[in-house]
Structure 1
């Protein structure tokens, strides 16, 4: 599928089939995250694959929605603040931006492989850190459940370009 078709076919999956995911596909998704660009190429991320039933249940319980319990695998995507680039002028830490780019690459690869994902950021970060025994400089940013979707497509609502695109300064209509 071409890139436009790929980005338009990706949607947030909240219903998964009870089908195991081939290890080769999981590796391709992880490699897509690995290949993502990052500020100064510092690659401040770690991907933790959660697929053992007991550990999976513990991680699923850090997010209070039942649908996540259907996912056969969850990637916990973490930022490493000890190696991320910080902007000199204001100290802005690029770790979250870099992780977001990596996760986006992962979601698109998953879609290409016939898998579905859903970004989850509203989870108990402290509990996940404790369960995974994360050092202080490693922050769990995203739970990325992954599996074969029950539905083939989802509905995506998007703002019009005129609502989000400006020309030369904020508020000027792009033409």
Structure 2
């Protein structure tokens, strides 16, 4: 079951805008992060959630998507996410070097929760934290680390074994994601 969730949890850049996500569902997914590991158990992460169109569009305007496919201009019009979760670091709790490890664990937890319920998402690190902080009117000690765009996915995404490049690409309406093989990632010692 975990393997299936992981395989379905692909970075989605096209969403069905008619399928909304209510705040209670977003809060539930965020609540699961409370059970995750955290460096020194500091738990320095906080979250802002948005599911109103004006807020989602405002955040979307501060992001850049699919750096490997600039000619695609993703997400396309009428395929925008319907929600965002902004993961914040509270620097009054921790400013340590392991905060980004906590961010990764929390983001993966949120996305796996979304996928389990038939939604999809995309982690977005291509944004200016200062602009997002200003847009959200956050106090200085709350620093945006990662944005997660969410919605019902409307893309066909295919995992394939990597051959000559690990760069994702699109062909005939399918988004292909090359993955390194087990032989490439496993280091065996005798």
Normalised-by-shorter TM-score class: 0.7 to 0.9
Partner of 1:165: 186
Aligned length: 162
Match of 2:170 in 1: none
Residue 10 of structure 1 aligns with which residue?
9
1:42 positional shift:
1.5
Normalization by structure 2: what TM-score? 0.76
After TM superposition, the structure 1 stretch with the greater mean CA deviation from structure 2, 97-106 or 130-139, is: 130-139
Q: Report what 1:30 is aligned to.
A: 30
Matched position secondary structure for 2:40: helix
In structure 1, the residue matched to 2:150 is 146
Give me the CA root mean square deviation: 2.1
Asked if structure 1 preserves the Cα contact closer than 8 Å seen for 2:44 and 2:99, the reply is yes
Distance 1:67 1:120 in 2: 12
More strand by share: 2
**Larger RCO, structure (CA 8 Å, separation 6 or more):** 1
Pairwise CA distance, 1:13: 0.8
Offset of 1:165 from its aligned partner?
2.8
Per-residue CA shift, 1:61-117, capped at 9, x if unaligned?
10144418711111111112221274xxxxxx2211111111111111111010000
Are 1:103 and 2:117 counterparts?
A: no
In the alignment, is residue 41 of structure 1 matched against residue 41 of structure 2? yes
Deviations 1:14-68 (A, max 9, x none): 1111211144432321122232210122111111012233222221110144418
Gap runs ≥5 in structure 1: 87-92, 167-172
Q: Which structure 2 residues correspond to residues 61-140 of structure 1 after superposition, within 5 A?
A: 61-65=61-65, 66-67=74-75, 70-84=80-94, 86=96, 93-140=97-144
In 2, Cα distance between equivalents of 1:109 and 1:100: 14
Q: Contact between 2:23 and 2:49, CA under 8 Å: does it hold in 1?
A: no
Query: Relative to structure 1, is the Cα distance of residues 23 and 161 closer, same or farther in structure 2, using a 3 angstrom cutoff?
Result: same
Q: Could you say what secondary structure the match of 2:49 adopts? A: strand
TM-score by length of 1: 0.82
Partners in 2 of 1:40 and 1:73 — Cα distance?
31
Q: 1:160 offset after TM fit, Å?
A: 1.9
Match of 2:54 in 1: 54
Cα distance in 2 between the residues matched to 1:82 and 1:154:
42
